[in-house]
Amino acid sequence: MAAFKFGATQRLYAVAVLCLAAVGVAMFSQYMFDLRPCPWCILQRLLFTLIAVLCIVAAWLRGGPRVALGGISVLLAAGGIAAALWQNLVAAKSSSCNLTFADKIITGIGVDKLLPSVFKVTGSCAEAAVSILGVPYEFWSLAVFGVAGLLVLSALRGR
Sign of the Cα torsion 22, 25, 30, 33 reads: negative
- For residue 138, the model assigns a pLDDT of 93
Q: Give the residue among 70, 66, 25, 32 at the shortest CA–CA distance from 50.
A: 70
- For residue 31, the model assigns a pLDDT of 95
- For residue 69, the model assigns a pLDDT of 98
Alpha-helix residue ranges (DSSP H) falling in 34-100:
39-60, 63-89
What pTM was computed for the model? 0.92
- Is residue 31 packed enough to be buried (19+ CB in 10 Å), middle (13-18) or exposed (0-12)? exposed
What size, in residues, is the chain?
159
- Is residue 67 packed enough to be buried (19+ CB in 10 Å), middle (13-18) or exposed (0-12)? middle
- For residue 128, the model assigns a pLDDT of 73
pLDDT tens digits for the chain (159 residues)?
455 578 999 999 999 999 999 999 999 999 999 999 999 999 999 999 999 999 999 999 999 999 999 999 999 999 999 999 999 998 877 767 767 899 899 999 999 999 999 999 998 887 777 888 899 999 999 999 999 999 999 999 974
- For residue 24, the model assigns a pLDDT of 97
The values of phi and psi at residue 132, to 5°, are -125, 125
In order of 11, 86, 152, the CA distances from 55 in angstroms are 9, 25, 8
